[in-house]
Amino acid sequence: GVPDAVQTELKGAYLANALRNQLLVEELVRLLHLLSDAGIPAIPLKGVPLAESLYGDPATRVCADIDLLVPPAQLHRAIEVILSAGYPDVFQNAFFRKLALRHGRHYGFQRDHAVSTLVELHWRLVQHFSRNDDAVTDLWAEARPTHSCGAPAYAFSPEWEFLYLATHAADHR
């Protein structure tokens, strides 16, 4: 009972999203290989890996960026790896770079290649939380090697996956 014009519009939106997400998958795989080759564990957050694990199809979720979690001790090395791979950071001013690293929970990169791709490198779970360091240590103690979209990665335990998604949803109200 859905009109042909609406079906056509929905199909076009689905196909455009599928193409965008395929490009995000390619960028994600590239980043995961770069980090893995540098000995830096990374957990893909949300985005196409979540759509793939929940629905079996990365095209079923609208995604805007690539989010990766790295251990805090590996943050500066991960930034170097990503910068050297052609992903300039989003900050034009050294003051804001330092501010993001000191008080933020993710650091942004913007690469304009086939499409403009925003990458957010996370190292904290909850900003301004006194127990964040303990939580992150526990999270990484339970993280396990796996593959995401065919690339080497790490994954949350099921409990941490739930806690991360709940915290992220609360953060966005």
pTM of the complete model: 0.88
- Give the mean model confidence (pLDDT) for residues 125-134: 78
> For residue 135, is it left (φ>0), alpha (ψ between -120 and 50) or beta?
alpha
Tokens of 62: 């609208």
pLDDT tens readout for residues 92-105: 888 988 888 888 88
pLDDT tens readout for residues 136-170: 999 999 999 999 988 999 998 888 888 888 887 77
